[in-house]
Chains A and B, each alone.
Chain A
Amino acid sequence: MTVEQRIDQVSAQNRIKFAPILYQLLLQGIALIFTIFFFGPFLWTIFSSFKNIQEIAAFPPTLLPKVWEWQNYVQAWTQQPFDRWTLNSLVVAFFAVIGLTLSSATTAFAFARFRFPGRDALFLVLMGTLILPREITLIPLFILFKNLKWLDTLLPLIVPNFLAVGSNGAFFIFLLRQAIMTIPREYDEAAKVDGASSWWIFWQIIWPLSSSTLITVAVFAFLFNWNEFLYPLVFLSNKANFTLPVGLRFYQTLGMDTRVSYEHLLMAASVLASLPPIILFFIGQRYLIRGTLLSGLKG
């Protein structure tokens, strides 16, 4: 019996000793307590969103709605320009995904495959933008967009994404650079010998071979932009131009003057606004977790 086999045996014994049923029960208990904290609020929100106007204000609160009021969702949808907000959010997220994926891929390609003066310094600058608080650029950006007549349009939320601006861009460039550096350089060299341009190399070699990281980037880009709050709050002013997170505020003030509780509509609207990122999370969980593991860079 080799040493390795003996160690394996010892560890196997230890594992059996350490994981009896009691231990499993203890673990399950702890895991459940955490589940109540993390998942409970979702259930409570969903239940609340189906209660009618009397039940939502009832004390003591009921857990499950007595009558499931599906009408709440119709009301939440029509109470406010919810369809416009959804459309705006979708437009922003759609272009952000395309813009960020493209621009961070080309930039990552430049950093990973070309030698040019100042490259390392520029890469440091890029990493610096990861921790640069955006509060510092917020006011000048507001003035810039005002002068460009972009305020109250979706352009400030879309255009910078095509130039990989800010900490999101830096994060994605970093991820993609790591991915591109794992692609063997011999592929590029061989293509170059055959007379291929860097355009061809990018689209025929780099892009397809980093596709899983590109998907990770696309999923993150959707999440970050769908959930974005500060920029739309600052750059948009007309109610019809809002994105969903900013629009949700209006359900908060419903009935405030009459002291009637409209929390059921607020909860229904919150559920609707949270659905796309949550569905995307279930579809793209693999990619999200993989992306986080690749870098762990983003708060």
Chain B
Amino acid sequence: MRRFRWRPATREALEGYLWLSPWLIGFLIFTLGPVIASLYLSFTAYHPARTPEWVGLENYIYAFTKDEQFWPSLGRTFYYAVLLVPLAMAGSLALALLLNQPLKANSLYRTAYFLPYVTPVVAAALLWGWILNPRLGILNYALSLVGIQGPSWLSAQWAIPTVVIISLWTLMGGSRMIVVLAALKNVPEELYEAARIDGAGPWRCFWHITLPMISPTLFFNLIVTFIAALKVFEIAYMLTIGQQGGIASGSAGFSIYFYVVKLFDHAFNFFEMGYASAMAWIFLVLVLFFTAIQFKWSSSWVYYAGEDRSS
């Protein structure tokens, strides 16, 4: 009764919560609860058949100081990200610029570039595994025709670049290309007209008009691509299985034993779920940290034109 005066608002709030409830319940059960549980598990030794045993910071100490594969797996992951992210960014920009030209059969090309994005990543890994097959693969055969001896693509030296190539295939022409294309089409034509009247060539137009105007979109792509790069898993997993007893023993050895692959290995092959949870929390902190850095850095190159960013 004491809230009698607020009744219409209360009613609206209650109804709002009612409509929200499926998501809210799902969030509590399947997201927030597990996030907290994994924080707790990260301080335990936990095999799924036994009860968790509190070990304090031991998992974290083990990761940082004793686990021989911890830093290398992180290093590989960053090497992969450093290769992939600039190439994916430049690639989707190049594709979008191309499709923004008066190119005949434009939509046909767009479809061809977009198709890998809807293909199951597992299938992508398999078909590229076949293309790159060192013995029978078409790529090394094609290279040999022009006098180049193709490398063994899954050797220690080449395995990470190989995963980068396959990743580029799946993500360069997909949503990233389309978003950049949309941004390009949104650059006001008057800006180019004015610049041309002032005698600016296409190159200067690109650097001083196009790039600044689409920088918010590029920034957005950067964030998404970087996070996706750190999470690299499926392709590496598919390229290294077929050998039993842990992923690491695959033909590529440890060369594409990325962070999340290792995490998966600890959790579901060795059943060291406490340690894997600690790895997951370290991963979360890393993702947040690098996302925050990119946001901070963005103010120096991302240009927001006036009221433009309502969404």
Question: Are A and B physically bound partners?
Answer: yes
Binding site for B on A (CB under 8 A): 7, 10-11, 14-15, 18-19, 24, 27-28, 30-31, 34-35, 37-39, 41-42, 44-45, 48, 56-61, 102-104, 106-107, 109-111, 113-117, 119, 122, 125-126, 129, 131-133, 135-144, 146, 160, 162-166, 169, 173, 178, 198, 202, 223, 226-227, 229-230, 234, 244-246, 248-249, 251-253, 256, 261, 263, 266-267, 270, 273-274, 277-278, 280-282, 285, 288-289, 292-293, 295-299
Binding site for A on B (CB under 8 A): 9, 12-20, 22-27, 29-31, 33-35, 37-38, 41, 48, 95, 98, 101-105, 109, 111-116, 118-123, 126-131, 133, 135-138, 141, 169, 171, 173, 175, 178-179, 182, 189-190, 192-193, 196-197, 202, 217, 220-221, 223-225, 227-228, 230-231, 233-234, 238, 241-242, 260, 263, 267-268, 273, 276-277, 280-281, 283-284, 287, 291, 311
A281 to B112, CA, bound (A): 11
Q: Which one of A102, A144, A234 contacts B34 once the chains associate, using CB atoms below 8 Å?
A: A144
Q: CB-CB < 8 A to A28: which residues of B?
A: 103-104
Sample of 11 A–B contacts (CB below 8 Å)? A27-B102, A41-B116, A102-B22, A115-B12, A116-B12, A131-B291, A139-B41, A263-B130, A289-B114, A296-B182, A299-B227
Contact A277 B119 (CB under 8 A): yes
Q: CB-CB < 8 A to B169: which residues of A?
A: 37-38, 41
Contact A165 B20 (CB under 8 A): no
Contact A24 B38 (CB under 8 A): no
Contact B179 A292 (CB under 8 A): yes
Q: CB-CB < 8 A to A106: which residues of B?
A: 19-20, 22-23
The smallest beta-carbon distance between B176 and chain A, in angstroms, is: 8
Q: Which one of A58, A61, A136, A160 contacts B283 once the chains associate, using CB atoms below 8 Å?
A: A136
The smallest beta-carbon distance between A210 and chain B, in angstroms, is: 14
A263 to B137, CA, bound (A): 11
Given contacts A15-B102, A114-B13, A140-B34, contact A299 B115 (CB under 8 A): no
Contact B19 A110 (CB under 8 A): yes
Residue of B nearest to A19 (CB): B102
A141 to B41, CA, bound (A): 12
Contact A129 B34 (CB under 8 A): no
The secondary-structure label for the interface of chain A is helix
Given contacts A116-B13, A267-B130, contact A143 B263 (CB under 8 A): no
The smallest beta-carbon distance between A49 and chain B, in angstroms, is: 10
Given contacts A160-B30, A292-B175, contact A11 B189 (CB under 8 A): yes
Contact B33 A140 (CB under 8 A): yes
The smallest beta-carbon distance between A225 and chain B, in angstroms, is: 11
A101 to B183, CA, bound (A): 28
Residue of B nearest to A56 (CB): B136
Most buried by B among A178, A282, A288: A288
Contact A270 B121 (CB under 8 A): no
Q: Which one of B13, B120, B179 contacts A293 once the chains associate, using CB atoms below 8 Å?
A: B179
Given contacts A38-B173, A277-B119, contact A103 B23 (CB under 8 A): yes
Given contacts A106-B19, A277-B118, contact A248 B193 (CB under 8 A): no
A140 to B134, CA, bound (A): 40
Contact B109 A107 (CB under 8 A): no
A160 to B33, CA, bound (A): 14
Contact A115 B136 (CB under 8 A): no
Contact B31 A166 (CB under 8 A): yes
A115 to B11, CA, bound (A): 10
Q: CB-CB < 8 A to A143: which residues of B?
A: 37, 48, 273
Contact B119 A278 (CB under 8 A): yes
Contact A198 B119 (CB under 8 A): no
Known: A103-B22, A141-B34, A198-B19. 8 other contacts (CB 8 A): A11-B189, A11-B196, A27-B101, A116-B12, A132-B35, A138-B280, A146-B48, A227-B119
Contact B30 A110 (CB under 8 A): no
Contact B22 A135 (CB under 8 A): no
Residue of A nearest to B95 (CB): A34
Q: CB-CB < 8 A to A278: which residues of B?
A: 115, 118-119
Q: Which one of A38, A104, A229 contacts B120 once the chains associate, using CB atoms below 8 Å?
A: A229
Contact B178 A292 (CB under 8 A): yes
Q: CB-CB < 8 A to B111: which residues of A?
A: 282, 285
Q: CB-CB < 8 A to A178: which residues of B?
A: 311
The smallest beta-carbon distance between B140 and chain A, in angstroms, is: 10
A103 to B21, CA, bound (A): 9
The smallest beta-carbon distance between B53 and chain A, in angstroms, is: 15
Q: CB-CB < 8 A to A44: which residues of B?
A: 127, 130-131, 138
Contact A234 B284 (CB under 8 A): no
A261 to B121, CA, bound (A): 22
Residue of A nearest to B221 (CB): A296
A56 to B133, CA, bound (A): 12
Q: CB-CB < 8 A to B283: which residues of A?
A: 133, 135-136
Contact A248 B123 (CB under 8 A): yes
Most buried by A among B123, B179, B311: B123
Contact B17 A116 (CB under 8 A): yes
